[in-house]
Amino acid sequence: MQETPRKVFLVGLTTSQANLTYELEELGNLARANNLDPVETFTQKLERPNPATYFGKGKVEEISAAVTTYDVDMIVANDELTPSQIRNLEKATNATVVDRTGLILDIFAQRAQTKVAQLQVQLARLQYQLPRLRTSMSITLDQQTGAGGGGFTSRGAGETKLEQSRRRITAQMVHIRQELADLEKGETTRSAQRQNNDLPNVALVGYTNAGKSTLMNRLLARFGIGASNDDSKQVFEKDMLFATLNTTVRQLTLPDKKQFLLSDTVGFVSKLPHSLVAAFKSTLQEAASADLLLHVVDVSDPHYQDMMTTTNKTLQEIGVSGRPTITVYNKADRTELVFPEVTGENAITISALDIASQDALIDLIKQHVFKDVAVVNLHIPFDKGNIQAQLAAKHTFLQEDYDDTGTLITVELSTNERETFKDYIV
């Protein structure tokens, strides 16, 4: 059963580049996803954060007073704070201070389903926790990760105890890295096998909650193996932040037998902690090696442009750049926009829930990933029936005829396939 949400303050700074309205709305969503209830927001305009207390002195006093008035015991900060900023703010306000990074790590920890995701998140948390052992948040983290055994509850705890915790965490990190390396070896093999498969690889990427998994499921229901009869191939979709943490790859077969692989990936949010970005780099290999990215955008969100910028920045950070991309403006059913509508070579407005939209998107994907196909004529001797079967499994023949020695086939082949079957091309 869900406990009553804990009341918190959201606090943030307007620095020169920040879009604080967008970031605070996002922070509120992150807080709510952690069962926190933001009751008030405090902001201040500063060139850069105060190195000691994040806010200036006056603001800290204002917040301290409000902590008493509102009877709030937790403050959520919009940036990643330094360990000493957290400690000083906690001392001044008498409340627990959590930063954006801590919140995101907690959500990921709750959502992680697979062994790899769990280890990656745990590693990221320990890395975050290590320099923060003397903040009150680390006590909660301790209990959750079992890292420090929930050992010290007062800030005056002895250096030895602190040293012990540090050592334990470091040892745990070494262990997890080893376990991950072992697990990833298996994953690399699988991914290499897929590459041999020769099928174009299309990856769904985008901001969290944009509708990536929904789109994947709708397309799978129609074009997946076994199609709608097979629910086990469906991925998890839900109206929540970070519903998906691990990458799923599925094969789609279109009515004309053209095939491609579609992968669903973790969603992004601004200021995604570096430790998590690093941790999920390997999970995001599918996106990095994709022939085509579908950048899914929730166009019904007033902040969708900021979300697009966030996604592009994150992709760059994980080393995915210069990939051919289609921007998919999704959830148009919640707006006044016309859909489905192709708006240029690389953009389309759709609703993932709408069949006509799915078809229009598939057409656009085909134009991109099968653009190297060409019509060829093949002559296959009668004793090479296996070659003909191989082709028939993947293609609808445009024409089929016979002569004395074999079958004459007209079919669309990709560059790779034209190479494979070059002996039969006439």
Ligand X SMILES: Nc1nc2c(ncn2[C@@H]2O[C@H](COP(=O)(O)OP(=O)(O)OP(=O)(O)O)[C@@H](O)[C@H]2O)c(=O)[nH]1
The binding site for Mg ion (CB under 5 A) comprises 212-213, 243-244
244 assigned to a ligand binding site = yes
Confirm or deny that 65 is annotated as ligand binding: no
In the complex with ligand X, the residue whose CB is nearer, 49 or 340, is 340
267 is an annotated ligand-binding site residue: yes
Q: Is residue 89 a contact partner of residue 60, using CB atoms and an 8 Å limit?
A: yes
Distance from C-alpha of 38 to C-alpha of 30, rounded to nearest angstrom: 10
> Torsion angle, CA of 160/105/118/290, rounded to 10 degrees?
-140
Task: Say if CB 24 and CB 5 are below 8 A apart.
Answer: no
Of 233, 246, 204, the C-alpha closest to 111 is 246
How many residues sit close enough to ligand X to count as binding (CB under 6 A)? 22
Output 352 or 380, the one with its CB closest to ligand X: 352
Say which DSSP state 360 is in: H
Residue 116 partner contact from ligand X, Mg ion, none using kind-dependent CB cut-offs of 5 to 8 Å? none
> Least distance (Å) from ligand X to the CB of residue 284?
12
**Stretch 189-218 residues interacting with ligand X (CB under 6 A):** 208-214
Binds 214: which of Mg ion, ligand X, none (CB < 5-8 Å by kind): ligand X
Q: Cβ closer to ligand X: 165 or 248? A: 248
50 or 234: whose CB is closer to Mg ion? 234
Residue span binding ligand X (CB under 6 A) among the ranges 11-19, 70-78, 236-244, 249-257: 236-244
Report whether 311 belongs to an annotated binding site.
Answer: no
Phi then psi dihedrals of residue 243, to 5 deg? -65, -35
Backbone angles phi, psi at 38, to 5 degrees: -70, 120
CB closer to ligand X out of 215 and 292: 215
CA neighbor of 27 nearest in space, from 44, 45, 12, 5: 12
Q: Which two tokens stand for residue 54?
A: 């994040």
Question: Nearest residue by C-beta to Mg ion?
Answer: 244
Residue 238 touches which member of ligand X, Mg ion, none, C-beta under 5-8 Å by kind? ligand X
Backbone φ and ψ for 205, nearest 5 degrees, come out as -130, 165
Q: Give the DSSP H or E segment for 166.
A: helix 159-196
Query: How is 312-323 classified by DSSP, letter by letter?
Result: HHHHHHTT--S-
State the minimum distance, in angstroms, from the CB of residue 179 to ligand X.
25
The greatest distance separating any two alpha carbons of the chain, rounded to the nearest whole angstrom, comes to 95
Q: Which is nearer to ligand X, 60 or 210 (CB)?
A: 210
- Binding at 239: pick from Mg ion, ligand X, none (beta carbon under 5-8 Å per type): ligand X
- Across the beta sheet with 74-77, the strand order is 36-45, 6-14, 74-77, 96-99
- In whole angstroms, the minimum distance from the beta carbon of 32 to Mg ion comes to 18
82 CB-near residues (< 8 Å, 6+ apart):
51
315 vs 409 by CB, closer to ligand X: 315
Q: Which two tokens stand for residue 286?
A: 């599918």
**Residues 251-280, interacting with ligand X (CB under 6 A):** 267
243 binds ligand X, rule: CB under 6 A: yes
User: Is 207 annotated among the ligand-binding residues?
Assistant: yes
> Which whole-number Å values give the CA distances from 133 to 119, 177, 180, 339, in the listed order?
20, 21, 25, 52
332 annotated to a ligand binding site:
yes
Q: Was 331 annotated as part of a binding site? A: yes
Pairing of strands 74-77, 36-45: unpaired
30 or 67: whose CB is closer to Mg ion? 30
Site stretch for ligand X (CB under 6 A), options 123-131, 152-160, 221-229, 241-249:
241-249
Smallest gap, in angstroms, from Cβ of residue 97 to ligand X? Answer: 26
Site string for ligand X, 322-361 (x = CB under 6 A): --------xx-xx----------------xxx--------
Piece of the chain touching ligand X by CB under 6 A; list 28-36, 121-129, 233-241, 408-416:
233-241
Taken in order 84, 30, 95, 41, is the CA torsion positive or negative? positive
- Say whether residue 242 binds ligand X (CB under 6 A): yes
Give the torsion through C-alpha atoms of 356, 361, 363, 368, to 10 deg.
Answer: 180
Q: Residues 364, 407: contact at Cβ < 8 Å? A: no
Q: Which amino acid is at 399?
A: Q
Select 190 or 238, whichever has its Cβ closest to ligand X: 238
Annotated binding-site members for Mg(2+): 213, 244
Q: Give the residue numbers of the binding site for GTP.
A: 206-213, 264-267, 330-333, 351-353
Which residues line the annotated binding site? 206-213, 244, 264-267, 330-333, 351-353
- Residues near ligand X (CB under 6 A) are 208-214, 237-239, 241-244, 267, 330-331, 333-334, 351-353
